Amino acid sequence: MVGESGCGKSTTGRTILRLYNATGGEVIYDGQDLAGMSEKQIKPYRKRIQMIFQDPYASLNGRMTVNDIIGEGITIHELYKGAEKQDRIYNLLSHVGLKREHSNRYPHEFSGGQRQRIGIARALSVEPELVICDEPISALDVSIQAQVVNMLEDLQQELGLTYLFIAHDLSMVKHISDRIGVMYLGKLVEVCESAELYKNPLHPYTKALLSAIPIPDPVVTRANKRIILEGDVPSPIDPPVGCRFASRCPVRIAQCTEENPELKEMAPGHFASCFNI
């Protein structure tokens, strides 16, 4: 899921996990509506769905050792005890490229990339099916970003995981995603297979996002004109009537400020919400 900062990506991720309660709509997971469940009903899903947070500094409790951070979920969900639990923690540490001796240290003793590895080990500790990765590399140094993405891809292969990978630009998600949803001001404006989105973007917002990806070739760069969006993102608390993107849209028509376009299947498997496609 891609969209600029403040459009509601984290809110969506946290609502899926019920860290926030939805004020409307449904969250269908494996045929069940998570949004309508009681606290007791939701508990097994807290094991099946885990989250990796954007900020590896704020998301780890600084007063807990790495061992306790990774072991907490294992204990809460009663997965392993004693020596088995300790083995599991060591195993998780090696999976994310950390060492046994790191287990007795505290988060502040690690670099940003290492902390994110601890956050990933914590998420994996309860053997989830779905991991919501909320901009897991945005806060990291560029040199570390590729390492962490590669590790996430390896773990996905090895453990058969599904990721909902959240990012604020399209350059990051090209390789890791099978399908991409583009969000603008709290609503998905385009959803399709990853390759199709890059080849044949339909929504004007997606086109603008794609044009913002730097291309390391001056000839290609000159040929592809960058689309600069004017104005700011309107407030999600008081969204405009009609299409939410209309105030910044280069191809706006009269209908756009009056009616809200629905997400429609424009080509097989390719959904977009725009009156002017």
- 56 contact, one of ligand ADP, Mg ion, none, CB 5-8 Å limit per kind: none
**Reduced to 3 states, what is the DSSP secondary structure of residue 188?**
strand
In the complex, least distance from residue 233 CB atom to Mg ion, rounded to whole angstroms? 13
**Reduced to 3 states, what is the DSSP secondary structure of residue 33?**
strand
Q: Give the pair of three-digit tokens for residue 201.
A: 């973007």
Site size for ligand ADP (CB under 6 A)? 11
Q: Which residues within the stretch 218-237 sit at the binding site for ligand ADP (CB under 6 A)?
A: 236-237
Using an 8 Å Cβ cutoff, are 2 and 169 in contact? yes
Which member of 2, 10, 69, 116 binds ligand ADP (CB under 6 A)? 10
Which member of 11, 65, 138, 156 binds ligand ADP (CB under 6 A)? 11
Site size for Mg ion (CB under 5 A)? 1
Q: Which residues within the stretch 3-62 sit at the binding site for Mg ion (CB under 5 A)?
A: 10
Which sign, positive or negative, has the C-alpha torsion 3, 12, 259, 233?
negative
In the complex, least distance from residue 235 CB atom to ligand ADP, rounded to whole angstroms? 8
**From CA 66, how far away is CA 60, in angstroms rounded?**
9
Q: Determine if 19 is a binding residue for ligand ADP (CB under 6 A).
A: no
**From CA 25, how far away is CA 11, in angstroms rounded?**
14
Q: Determine if 116 is a binding residue for Mg ion (CB under 5 A).
A: no
**From CA 163, how far away is CA 153, in angstroms rounded?**
10
- 254 contact, one of ligand ADP, Mg ion, none, CB 5-8 Å limit per kind: none
| x-marked contacts with ligand ADP along 134-173 as a string, rule CB under 6 A | ----------------------------------------
Q: Which of 130, 133, 136 is nearest to 161 (CA)?
A: 130
Pick between residue 10 and residue 273 the one whose CB is nearest to Mg ion: 10
DSSP string for 193-255: EHHHHHHS--SHHHHHHHHTS--S-HHHHHHS---PPPSPPPPTTSPPSS-TTGGG-TT--GG
Q: Determine if 186 is a binding residue for ligand ADP (CB under 6 A).
A: yes
Interface residues with Mg ion (CB under 5 A)?
Answer: 10
Interface residues with ligand ADP (CB under 6 A)?
Answer: 3, 5-11, 186, 236-237
